[in-house]
Copies of this chain bind each other. A is one copy, B any other.
Amino acid sequence: MSSVLGANNYGKAEVRLVRLVRDTAEHELTDLNVSVALAGDLDATHLTGDNSAVLPTDTQKNTVYAFAREHGVGEVEAFGLRLARHFVDSQPTITRARVDLQQFDWRRLGPHSFARTGEGVRTAAVTYDGARAWVVSGVDELVLLNSTGSEFQGYLTDRYTTLVPATDRILATAVKAEWRHDGDDVDWAASYRAARAALESAFVTTYSRSLQQTLHAMGAAVLDAAPGLAEVRLSLPNRHHFLVDLAPFGLDNPGEVFYAADRPYGLIEGTVVRAGAAAAPIAWSLTAS
């Protein structure tokens, strides 16, 4: 056989952890979904089934829960850093670790009572290679809509173009944004608040000639708001709201009644980088070279 093993990683995905802090009159609640991926000296398990270099994914799960007790959780980036460093530093066969975290938000209803909100999920991805760590923070599923202040005109046309230019349309998207930090000693909570506020503010205040323009404005605003960031990546589905043709019923429709479509949708993806910042592929993919 003439094949060779290439890039690979393994780990436990979607460990659901709820951590309470109960030693105060008001309980604190942290609700996470944690995924671990490890890479290293793993040829033997692939080629012969010799697992002597493999830290079981079950152990990874146990470690997530044990660390939540031993060290608390705190900010997701800090929890991810602690876990990623542990796996690499404690196991000679593991040379790289990535920890992906989703944090679900709850609103306080009382000292021991909470309601889960759904206005976006906070995310973090931490990668560590034994020498340094890369931290990416983000938000996902943040659904935003502008009811005016958006147009789309002046585009290319060809034989297959039927789109009518829009001078005033609904602009709606479900923001997935991730921003890469320069370092790993950061006030994570403050940084998240600043970046998220910048995203929302840029969406609200940008007069949009295309969703690409809005994307760029959002990314640039995040970099402006948080000096410690090197790069912002955004993925913005264009959730089409089509004006319903009411003319057959003798009615006009001056931008009031819309059909919210599921599929297809536009998908706009882009990166905004701080001038002069070095690239860091490993921050985005555990197996990047």
Contact = CB atoms under 8 A, between A and B. Distances in A.
Interface of A: 1-22, 27, 29, 31, 35, 37, 42, 45-59, 61-63, 65-66, 68-70, 90-91, 93, 106-107, 109-110, 112-120, 142-149, 152-163, 170, 200, 203-205, 208-213, 215-216, 219-220, 223-224, 231, 237-238, 241, 244, 246, 248-249, 251-276
A186 to B, nearest CB: 19
Contact of A256 (B7, B19, B143): B19
B154 A52 contact: yes
Looking at chain A's contact residues, the main secondary structure is mixed
Contacts of A249: 62, 66, 159-160
State how many copies of this chain the complex holds.
4
Contacts of A238: 57
Contact of A51 (B22, B145, B154): B154
Contact of A161 (B9, B10, B53, B56): B56
Nearest to A113: B204
Contact of A270 (B8, B14, B118): B8
Contacts of A147: 20, 22, 27, 29, 112-114
Contact of A144 (B113, B203, B263): B113
A20 B254 CA distance: 10
The interface centre, meaning the residue of A11, A159, A219, A223 with most chain B CB atoms within 10 A of its CB, is A159
Contact of A223 (B3, B258, B263): B3
